[in-house]
Every structure is written in C-alpha cells, then in structure tokens.
C-alpha cells in the first residue's frame, strides 16, 4: 500500500495521505513520499491545481507518527523530521498553482501545519483541529507558527499554540483558518475538486502572480513589495489573458482564458 497517493484528473492533482490505520500520521517513509509528491507536482506542467487530503473519515493528518518517533529520541531524528517536512511545506507555498486542503477528518499537530501551507482550506463541518505541539513538549517544526501568525494574527495564533486546545470546524471557519465548510455527510474532496475547477477557469498566470505577491506581502518591506507588484502587474498587462478580458468586456461575452494552455 502506498503511504502517499498522487493522482491527476483534468489538470487537478490529488495528494492523499493513505495511512488510515495510523490516523494518517506521517512516518519516515510517508514524509519522504509526501515531499517527493510535492516535487512531482512542482515539475508537472499539466498540473493546474493541487488538493491535499487524507484517507477515510477519521483524520486528515495526525502529524508525525509518534509511535515511530518515540523510538528515535536522538537529535538527528528531530533534524530529519524538521528538514524533510518544513522544506516540503515551504515548497507548497511556492508552487505557481492554487493548493487546496480538503479536510476529511481531524487535523492535529503537524496536520494543522500542513493546512497553513495550503492556499485555500475546505473542511467537513464535524472535524476538529488542534495545534498539539505543546502537549508533546515541542514547538511547531514544519514552519507552522510563522504561517499561522500570518494567517490569523499574533493574538489568535498564540491562543491556539499556547493552549493546545481542541477547536471545532465552526470556530476554524470564524477564525479564518478554514475558508469553506461542507455538511458532515458530504464528500469534502468532491467539493474541493469543484472549487479547483472554478479556479481552472481563471487566468493561470494571474493566479500565479497573485499567489507570489500575497506570500511576499508577509516577508518584504513595503517599498520592495510595491516594486514587485509593479513588475508583476506590468508583465501581465501585455498578456494574452488580459487582452482577452478586455475584448470579452467590450464584446459583452464570457472571457476564455488560458488559450495557450493544454486543456
């Protein structure tokens, strides 16, 4: 059985963590396979969106596999865990395509860190969340604290990190950690695929530029951010998709974007 499954349909890739017997916790092999799958997506010109989910209905991802990690208290094990997954999640934020977390079950610890590395998040209404790292005597190790502060602000991030409390999908939605909720009985992956299909109709180059600009907004000083925005804006001004948008407006018809892309 593959611990990580990567499939593609209509230019939408689906990365599924497939360890339901362990609540989709990531052991060493699954961590490497997860990182390899992200690498494959990064080099796939046919992929226009990525959905990340877990197997079954119990768990999205329960973080690292504590049963396996408990046998490796040495510093080298912690370094490996940090290096492999922090790099993979950083790469998610750098992909020039939208990424969607389809939260099919509870997300704990590192599973919540994976959520923060996805651009968009949709969850079943009955799932639960917990930044549980403090209960294990640890900080986040996969870049989650910085991303959580950027997403929710310092005060709300501190509440979730320092208390390590459980919170439900409704609160996650109110906080902005989750963008959309679906009914408890719904198939959240199907809903995520429908959302991704909506995104495929928009100009791919504009989405890539907006994603780059949004992530850089949390990193760059204001003057450098304005310069980056100017460069990206002017580059897109002459693009076929922008010309198509103007033509469609003038001709009072729906725009047809990504004409140069394989459909």
pLDDT confidence of residue 78: 74
- Contact between 172 and 200 under an 8 Å Cβ cutoff? The reply is no
Assess whether 133 and 60 both reside in one domain: yes
In a domain, 179, yes or no: yes
Count of Cβ atoms closer than 10 Å to residue 2 Cβ = 12
Structural domain total, the chain? 2
Cβ(185)–Cβ(241) below 8 Å? no
Judgement on whether residues 162 and 213 belong to the same structural domain of the protein = no
Quote the percentage of the chain above a pLDDT of 70.
Answer: 95
Structural domain includes residue 257: no
Strands 4-9 and 12-17: antiparallel
The residue-averaged pLDDT of 236-262 equals 91
Please write the tens of the pLDDT for every residue from 70-129. 565 677 777 877 899 999 999 999 999 999 999 999 999 999 999 999 999 999 999 999
Helix (H, G, I), strand (E, B) or coil at 225: helix
127 and 86 within one domain: yes
Residue 49's domain is classified under what CATH number?
3.90.226.10
- pLDDT for 254 equals 95
Asked if the structure places residue 192 within a domain, the reply is yes
Going across the sheet that includes 128-130, the strands are 59-61, 106-108, 128-130, 167-168
- Say if residue 175 is in the same domain as residue 222: no
pLDDT value at residue 70: 58
Question: The domain that contains 219 carries what CATH number?
Answer: 1.10.12
Return the pLDDT at 261. 60
Tell me the C-alpha to C-alpha distance, in Å, between residue 131 and each of 136, 162, 202, 215, 243. Answer: 10, 9, 34, 22, 45
Question: How much is the average pLDDT of 43-67?
Answer: 92
Q: What is the pLDDT of residue 259?
A: 86
Q: Is residue 256 part of a domain?
A: no
| 175 and 97 assigned to the same domain | yes
Say if strands 49-54 and 12-17 run parallel, antiparallel, or are unpaired.
Answer: parallel
Mean pLDDT along residues 192-204: 97
Q: Is the pLDDT of residue 255 over 90?
A: yes
Residue 154 phi, psi (nearest 5):
-60, -45
The percent of residues above 90 in pLDDT, for the chain, comes to: 88
Rounded Cα–Cα distance for residues 62 and 66 (Å): 9
Query: Based on the domain organization, do 60 and 170 belong to the same domain?
Result: yes
Q: Is residue 243 part of a domain?
A: yes
Question: pLDDT-based confidence at 263, cuts 50/70/90?
Answer: very low
Tell me which residue range forms the domain holding 39: 4-200
Within a domain: 150: yes
Mean pLDDT of the chain: 94
């Amino acid at each position: 059985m593959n611990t990580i499954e990567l499939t593609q349909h209509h230019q939408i890739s689906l990365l599924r963590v497939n360890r339901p017997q362990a609540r989709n916790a990531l052991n060493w092999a699954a961590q490497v396979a997860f990182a390899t799958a992200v690498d494959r997506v990064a080099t796939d010109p046919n992929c226009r969106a990525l959905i990340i989910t877990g197997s079954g209905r119990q768990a999205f991802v329960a973080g690292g596999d504590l049963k396996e990690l408990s046998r490796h208290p040495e510093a080298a094990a912690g370094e490996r865990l940090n290096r492999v997954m922090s790099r993979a999640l950083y790469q998610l934020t750098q992909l020039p395509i939208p990424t969607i977390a389809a939260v099919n079950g509870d997300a704990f610890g590192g599973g919540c860190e994976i959520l923060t590395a996805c651009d968009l998040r949709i969850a079943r209404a009955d799932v639960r969340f917990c930044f549980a790292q403090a209960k294990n005597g640890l900080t986040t190790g996969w870049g989650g604290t910085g991303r959580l502060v950027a997403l929710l602000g310092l005060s709300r991030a501190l509440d979730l990190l320092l208390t390590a409390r459980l919170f439900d999908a409704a609160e996650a939605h109110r906080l902005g950690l989750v963008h959309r909720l679906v009914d408890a009985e719904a198939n959240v992956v199907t809903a995520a695929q429908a959302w991704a299909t909506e995104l495929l109709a928009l100009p791919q180059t504009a989405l890539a530029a907006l994603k780059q600009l949004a992530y850089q907004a949390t990193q760059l000083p204001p003057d450098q951010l304005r310069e980056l925005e100017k460069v990206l804006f002017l580059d897109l001004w002459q693009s076929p998709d922008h010309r198509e948008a103007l033509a469609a407006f003038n001709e009072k018809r729906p725009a047809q974007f990504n004409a140069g892309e394989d459909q």
